[in-house]
């Protein structure tokens, strides 16, 4: 009875805390400007199934894709065991599904989990090595110094502990059956681990304790992990799904239209048009482009929280590869960090450290060639380019900060309809030349 109460308290507390934290993040995301991402739901579901559920874009890089896929499948299948843990916790039973007569099916599922756990164990070690020993370039860039690197290693450590607890429980349970001459559950790996590790030297009491520690350890790791998510890049395991659902379905080359500017220019060109004053007066005066995180759309903010800092975007960025300051991953991390700061300090918080300037510099913004390589590459359809565009728009239209060569180009377009100083009268000269 005590353990049921304890279990209920711990579960409710941790689920409650998690819900509260996620609600806070959702509230921050809703702070963003509106953008319509509800059209073509069929295509949206398809994108989510392929990209998030099917991991389609991960497979552009086969080695990490296979390793990641092991984690992913193990994570999903282990949920069956977690369900049993919950049923056992609330009912005080042990291995409810086994005793519910699922027999060989149960053994098959747990055996699969054991196999996947071993694979995950190996994958975790390889991931550790890729980050800390081989030092792959994309895991060792400036923006990962400090917390982001620790975060990544913590996640891998959690993973190892979780696997350890699962095997502790299964092996102790197998040893208990062995001890009492009741045969075996038939779990693929722990049925052999049990005699090897425990032999006949362990008393049933000890084995019971070990099984309990394994069970509670597994559960507590899950709860710890759950409540760690909102502070970690690992939030992508949840946010990848809505983020891919709300993907941009337009061709990547289409930039968002600024309707206020469209209206204003329309009026200039045709003064007979009715100025649509109502819209202008009722809506808040909005700045052009984005200066701070809350000038971005909710989708851009969702992008920021969905980013798992894998750095594929940065590794394909032409600017980054040629030594420029720009890193699309850093743009996403900066956006998220700034948004979190606004979230904690109130949304009218103005500390003179906006996203543009204090986090992302003009040099980074002007290094972008808008080639869309980062957008194409992101395994969860994050769009770093759109943020750079909005920051650039703010710089140019609100602060008139334009690199001087571009001022010349813009003046030429305005004066003679071409980015260079040529007369429109000469547009047909090519027809006269050979």
Q: Can residue 413 be called a binding residue for other proteins (CB under 8 A)?
A: yes
Q: Is 395 in the site for other proteins (CB under 8 A)?
A: yes
Pick the piece of the chain touching other proteins (CB under 8 A) from 33-41, 300-308, 330-338, 385-393. Answer: 385-393
The encoded tokens of residue 173 equal: 């349970």
Could you say whether residue 408 binds other proteins (CB under 8 A)? yes
For other proteins, give the closer residue by CB, 108 or 371: 371
- Site for other proteins contains 141 (CB under 8 A): no
Q: Which is nearer to other proteins, 200 or 250 (CB)?
A: 250
**Distance of closest approach, residue 391 Cβ to other proteins, in angstroms:** 9
- With CB under 8 A as the contact rule, the residue among 261, 275, 276, 286 that binds other proteins is 261
Least gap, CB of 366 to other proteins (angstroms): 6
- 252 is a site residue for other proteins (CB under 8 A): yes
The only residue of 373, 379, 384, 387 in contact with other proteins, by rule CB under 8 A: 373
Q: Which is nearer to other proteins, 49 or 409 (CB)?
A: 409
Closest CB to other proteins among residues 35, 107: 35
DSSP secondary structure letter of residue 433: -
DSSP tag of 226: H
Task: Indicate whether 266 belongs to the interface with other proteins (CB under 8 A).
Answer: yes
Q: Angle 231-237-240 (CA atoms, 0-180°, nearest 5)?
A: 105
Q: How far is the CB of 324 from other proteins (least distance, A)?
A: 4
CA atoms within 13 A on the CB side of 202: 24
Residue with tokens 């552009």: 60
Q: Is 345 in the site for other proteins (CB under 8 A)?
A: no
**DSSP code per residue over 297-324:** BHHHHHHHHH-----HHHHH-HHHHTT-
Chain centre distance of CA 85: 27
The Cα angle at residue 259 between residues 388 and 34, in degrees rounded to 5:
65
What residues contact residue 67 under an 8 Å CB cut-off, 6+ apart? 123, 126, 127
Q: Which stretch binds other proteins (CB under 8 A): 27-35, 121-129, 134-142, 405-413?
A: 405-413
Cβ distance to other proteins smaller for residue 54 or 103? 54
Rounded to a whole number of angstroms, the minimum distance from the CB of residue 265 to other proteins is: 4
Determine, following the binding rule CB under 8 A, whether residue 43 of this chain makes contact with other proteins. no
Q: Please say which residue, 119 or 267, places its beta carbon nearer to other proteins.
A: 267
The answer to whether 251 contacts other proteins (rule: CB under 8 A) is yes
Site residues (CB under 8 A) for other proteins, limited to 273-302: 288-289
Residue in 301, 285, 284 with CA at minimum distance from that of residue 293: 301
Cβ-based nearer residue to other proteins, 49 or 371: 371
Whether 419 and 409 have beta carbons less than 8 Å apart is answered as yes
Nearest distance, CB of residue 359 and other proteins, angstroms: 17
Among 153, 318, 337, 357, binds other proteins (CB under 8 A): 318
Identify the residue among 254, 277, 281, 348 touching other proteins (CB under 8 A).
Answer: 254
Task: Please give the C-alpha separations between residue 259 and each of 299, 311, 410, in angstroms, as whole numbers.
Answer: 18, 33, 21
Out of 2, 63, 203, 428, point to the residue binding other proteins (CB under 8 A): 428
Please report whether residue 326 would count as binding other proteins according to CB under 8 A: yes
* Residue 117: closest CA among 76, 154, 79, 166: 166
Nearest to 370 by CA among 328, 419, 322, 324: 328
Tokens of 411: 């003046």
Q: Which of 142, 181, 257, 348 binds other proteins (CB under 8 A)?
A: 257
Q: Report the alpha-carbon distance of residue 214 to residue 71 in Å, rounded.
A: 20
Q: How far is the CB of 35 from other proteins (least distance, A)?
A: 14
3-class SS of residue 360:
strand
Q: Taking a C-beta distance cutoff of 8 angstroms, is the pair 126, 132 a contact?
A: no
Query: Do the beta carbons of residue 324 and residue 348 sit within 8 Å?
Result: no
Using rule CB under 8 A, residue 226 touches other proteins:
no
255 is a contact residue toward other proteins (CB under 8 A): yes
- Map residue 346 onto helix, strand or coil: coil
- d(CA 247, CA 412) in angstroms, rounded, equals 36
Number of residues that bind other proteins (CB under 8 A): 68
State the sign of the Cα–Cα–Cα–Cα dihedral 283, 286, 290, 295: negative
Q: Which residues bind other proteins (CB under 8 A)?
A: 60, 250-255, 257-258, 261-262, 264-266, 268-269, 288-289, 316, 318-319, 321-326, 363, 366-373, 375-376, 389, 392-397, 402-403, 405-406, 408-410, 413-414, 417-420, 422, 424-431, 433
């Amino acid at each position: 009875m005590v353990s049921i109460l304890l279990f209920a308290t711990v579960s409710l507390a941790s689920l409650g805390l998690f819900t509260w934290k996620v609600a806070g993040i959702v509230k921050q995301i809703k702070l963003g400007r509106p953008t319509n991402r509800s059209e073509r739901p069929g295509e949206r579901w398809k994108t989510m199934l392929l990209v998030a559920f099917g991991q389609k874009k991960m497979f552009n890089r086969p080695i990490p894709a296979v390793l990641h896929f092991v984690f992913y499948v193990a994570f999903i299948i282990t949920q069956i065991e977690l369900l049993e843990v919950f049923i056992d916790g609330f009912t005080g039973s042990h291995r409810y599904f086994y005793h519910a007569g699922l027999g060989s099916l149960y053994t098959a599922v747990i055996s699969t989990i054991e196999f996947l756990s071993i694979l995950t164990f190996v994958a975790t070690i390889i991931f550790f090595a890729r980050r800390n020993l081989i030092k792959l370039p994309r895991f060792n860039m400036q923006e990962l110094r400090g917390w982001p690197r620790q975060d990544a290693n913590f996640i891998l450590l959690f993973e190892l502990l979780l696997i350890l607890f699962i095997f502790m429980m299964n092996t102790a349970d197998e040893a208990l059956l062995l001890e009492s001459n009741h045969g075996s559950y038939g779990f693929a790996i722990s049925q052999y681990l049990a005699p090897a590790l425990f032999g006949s030297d362990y008393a049933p009491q000890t084995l019971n304790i070990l099984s309990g520690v394994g069970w509670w350890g597994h559960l507590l790791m899950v709860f710890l992990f759950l409540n760690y998510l909102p502070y970690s890049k690992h939030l992508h395991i949840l946010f990848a799904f809505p983020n891919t659902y709300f993907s941009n379905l337009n061709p990547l080359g289409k930039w968002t239209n600024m309707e206020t500017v469209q209206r204003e220019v329309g009026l200039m060109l045709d003064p007979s048009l009715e100025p649509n004053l109502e819209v202008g007066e009722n809506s808040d005066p909005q700045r052009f482009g984005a200066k701070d995180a809350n000038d971005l759309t909710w989708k851009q903010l969702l992008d920021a929280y969905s980013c798992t800092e894998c750095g594929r975007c940065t590794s394909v960025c032409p600017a980054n590869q040629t030594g420029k300051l720009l890193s699309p991953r850093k743009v996403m991390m900066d956006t998220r960090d700034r948004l979190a700061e606004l979230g904690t300090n109130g949304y009218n918080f103005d500390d003179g450290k906006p996203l543009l300037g204090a986090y992302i510099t003009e040099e980074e913004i002007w290094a972008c060639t808008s080639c869309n390589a980062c957008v194409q590459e992101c395994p969860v359809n994050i769009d770093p380019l759109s943020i750079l565009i909005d920051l650039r728009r703010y710089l140019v239209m609100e602060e008139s900060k334009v690199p001087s060569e571009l001022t010349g180009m813009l003046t030429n377009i305005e004066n003679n309809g071409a980015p260079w100083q040529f007369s429109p009268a000469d547009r047909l000269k090519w027809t006269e030349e050979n």
